[in-house]
Amino acid sequence: MEVRTPDPDPEPEGSASVPSAVGPGWLSDIELEQVRHRMPVLYVEAVPVRVDGLGQVTEVGLLLRANALGEITRTIVSGRVMYGETLRDALFRHLEKDLGPMAFPQLPASPVPFMVAEYFPIPGVSPYSDDRQHAVSLAYVVPVTGTCEPRQDALELTWMSPAEASAPQVAAELEGGRGALVRAALASVGVLP
């Protein structure tokens, strides 16, 4: 049984859609646990935004979630890239998983992320940390044009102005140092105050 943790990659590895007893390309929970301590794990992350008619970012969407300890934390769209999966497929899969099927995200034309975030198990090596693993994440700003319906374990998606999203109190609520990542996202689109 899988215990839901404050997991930036929370798809159940043993769920029906991604069976545990699988061929090459899929890892069982135990295998994933082992590999996580042997190799950096590749992630994609997305900062969902609303844009106006001229493409200017007007709002930023942050996910609100209760973690295993009952604490409320914020995060962004985030998840692992599977074996054989393109970055675009992974990005789309995690956007749909976290924002629902009606979010209509506009994936970027360029595969170059606005930032590469390095998460280390020990805090302090970089601005980002993840006690489960060494993860390297390609992070994108993704405009969404539809209606977002976060899945069950996320309490809600909160839309904020760039000023609100970059405030220190919001940064403190973001998991793993992602406050810096959200600010970098806002800076990359010219709206960080």
Contacting positions for its own copies (CB under 8 A)? 24-27, 31, 35, 37-42, 49, 51, 53-57, 81-89, 91-92, 106-116, 118, 120, 125-127, 134, 136, 138, 141, 143, 180, 183-184, 187-190, 192-193
- The residue among 100 and 108 lying less far from its own copies, judged by its C-beta, is 108
Reading phi first (left if > 0) and then psi (alpha if -120 to 50, else beta), residue 55 is in left
E strand or H helix at 138, and its extent?
strand 135-143
The structure tokens listed for 78 are 């985030």
- The residue among 154 and 191 lying less far from its own copies, judged by its C-beta, is 191
- The residue among 7 and 65 lying less far from its own copies, judged by its C-beta, is 7
Q: Report the nearest approach of its own copies to the CB of residue 35 (Å).
A: 6
- The residue among 142 and 154 lying less far from its own copies, judged by its C-beta, is 142
Q: How many CA atoms lie within 13 A of 132 on its CB side?
A: 16
What does the alpha-carbon distance between residue 164 and residue 190 come to, in Å, rounded to a whole number?
15
What does the alpha-carbon distance between residue 193 and residue 57 come to, in Å, rounded to a whole number?
13
